[in-house]
A and B are shown apart, each in its own frame.
Chain A
Amino acid sequence: MVNRAFVLKIVSALILFGAWEIAGRIPVSLAFPTFLESMSALFSMAADGTLWLAYAETLQPLVVGIAISAVLGIAIGLWVGLNDFFDWLFSPIFIVMQAAPLAALIPLLVLAYGIGLTSKVLVVCIMAMPVIVLNTAGAVRNTPESMKEMGRAYLATDLAIVLKIVIPAASPVIFAGLRLGISAGFIGAILAELKITPTGVGDIITYSRSIADYPSMYAAIFSIILLAVLFLNLLEKTETVLFKGNQRGYVSD
């Protein structure tokens, strides 16, 4: 079963890469390199070290922003979901944040926090946090009443109800929110490097486009997508380890 899923992933990746290669050869556009050209650009950037230096730069706002968004986002989400007052207080902020056009906010952030790490971390957080908060809060609010009642009937304290019933019941949706939030955080990190100051992977993209080195540009984009996919798979593994029951027939219950 696991193997079959793995094989399917490989097959769909191969089909995608094949289509990319063909589209590059036609070519669809002069600015669209083939898959193999992009891969060779990727390897040469990896070999001469530019790629690693770029990631050392890009990963800073990304990791910090995602860590803050995950920890704070889940904590605020739990609070908002459990308490009507906090719901009233915080929910609108995150709904607005989710709907806000980020590009319009970036100049304001730069004005307030400069062009350094702080602004970039904030961009990642603005992208990643709302969906984490809103998903967590929604999942917590939707905990089946009968399960909480069962907890009370068997003398669970309020804390035990949250830890043993509400969080496990909400965990599939919390993890879904984390997945969405983290993907958005990756977009945010690159967006920050494109819109604020070109550094890291954003710099490779901007620079190689300016000199029409399209294979390098696509290689950089490809590498960030690859990293995001690997990271999301890691998250999925974490979920299976932490909440074994999540794999077991949520649908049927």
Chain B
Amino acid sequence: MAMSQTKMAVAEADGVLESAVSTRNISKNYGEVEALRDLSLEFPRGQLTSLLGPSGCGKTTLLKIIAGLLEPTSGEVEVNGSKVTGPGPDRAFVFQDFALLPWASVIRNVSFGLEMRGVAKSEREAIAERYIREVGLAGFEHAYPHELSGGMRQRVGLARALSVDSQVLLMDEPFSAVDEQTRRKFQEDLLGLVQNENKTFIFVTHSIEEAVYVSDQIAILLPRPSRVSEIIRPSGFRNKGVDNIRRDPEYLDIVDEIWASLRTYVE
């Protein structure tokens, strides 16, 4: 907590935030469908940026373009100053549907990214074990995905993303498949991760409360035509402790404000 306070204080004192990821004038068409139009957005280093918006406004599309999994129709993405042409070691993805390999044990799933990077078996298993412990799955190293609950599977996906030690973590609605209690626990854990792992997080969510709770910066995307309608930087309540955030007046105001701008898009 103290660390993030100083980090933010320094960043804000300087007046500029260094971007880890920038998207410039991104457009993406799927045939007739215009998923993104001329979208530009900066993602400050070491912070968590949420992409929030109604269904179908292009959040997943934008995240996959940043990941290098999709080609934008026009525009470009820069990560740490170099142009993205495909997936790279500087980015790791947490999938909404987990995307675990059902025939592989937890430890093999978690070490998959390291295996593809050519890390030797004993080394990658040691690293994987550490992250499995870190996400609270110690003892399940040799379980198979179907033996785990949805929340546990998502932790496997998270451990896989953390184990490759990328600078940027791309998370596509990572908590949407878990129950409310688990979700709250995950959100608290995520705040811890943002503070402790000096990484840049890009986080897609449907939930206004979740976005306000975990984000340093919230980009509100709107469809037809898709665009960034607003950027909100909650700052006042972050240092009041995880238990007090949801009672903080600024938190409540921001939630209301976002709802007010989104409600017209919910028919």
Residues of A within 8 A of B (CB): 146-147, 149-157, 160, 164-165, 168-169, 171, 243-246, 248-250, 252-253
Is B223 interfacial (CB-CB < 8 Å)?
no
Is the interface on chain B under 10, 10 to 19, 20 to 34, or 35 or more residues? Answer: 20 to 34
- Contact at B95–A150, with CB atoms within 8 Å? yes
* Chain B positions near chain A (C-beta within 8 angstroms): 64, 67, 69, 86-89, 91-93, 95, 97, 99, 101-104, 112-113, 115-117, 144-147, 160, 164
How far apart sit A180 and B64, CA to CA, in the bound complex (Å)?
A: 40
Tell me if B144 and A245 are in contact (CB < 8 A): yes
B104 to chain A: which residues have CB within 8 Å? Answer: 168, 245
* With known contacts A149-B69, A243-B103, A154–B112 Cβ distance under 8 A: yes
Q: Does A149 contact B99, Cβ atoms closer than 8 Å? A: yes
Question: Is A249's CB under 8 angstroms from B146's CB?
Answer: yes
With a cutoff of 8 Å between Cβ atoms, the chain A residues found around residue B160 in the complex are 154
Within the complex, the shortest CB–CB distance from B85 to chain A, in Å, comes to: 13
Bound: A164/B67 CA distance, A? 21
Across the interface, name the chain A residue whose C-beta is closest to B170.
A153
Given the known interface contacts A152-B69, A155-B113, A160-B116, the answer about A146 and B146 at a Cβ–Cβ threshold of 8 Å is no
What's the Cα separation between A249 and B145 when bound, in Å?
9
Q: Once the chains are docked, how many angstroms separate the CA of A78 from the CA of B95?
A: 27
CA distance A253 to B115 in the complex (A): 23
Nearest-CB residue, chain A, relative to B91: A153
| B99 and chain A: residue at smallest CB distance | A150
**Residue contact B144 to A249, C-beta cutoff 8 Å:** yes
- With a cutoff of 8 Å between Cβ atoms, the chain B residues found around residue A153 in the complex are 67, 69, 87, 91-93
Those 10 A-B pairs whose CB atoms lie nearest each other, nearest first: A245-B103, A249-B146, A150-B99, A154-B113, A153-B93, A253-B102, A248-B144, A252-B146, A156-B116, A146-B99
Name the contact of B103 in the complex, choosing from A154, A160, A246, A252 (C-beta under 8 A). A246
Complex contacts, B64 vs chain A, CB 8 Å: 149
B67 and A244 within 8 A (CB): no
Task: Enumerate 18 A-B pairs (CB-CB under 8 Å) in ascending A order.
Answer: A146-B95, A149-B64, A151-B116, A152-B86, A152-B87, A154-B92, A154-B116, A155-B87, A155-B88, A155-B113, A160-B116, A164-B101, A165-B101, A168-B101, A244-B103, A248-B102, A248-B147, A253-B102
CB distance B101 to A147 under 8 Å?
Answer: yes
* Residue ID in chain A nearest B97 by CB atoms: A146
- CB-CB under 8 A from B88, the residues of chain A are 155
Q: Which of A156, A157, A169, A245 has the most CB of B within 10 A?
A: A245
How far does the alpha carbon of A160 sit from the alpha carbon of B116 in the complex, in Å? 8
Are A253 and B164 closer than 8 Å at their CB atoms? no
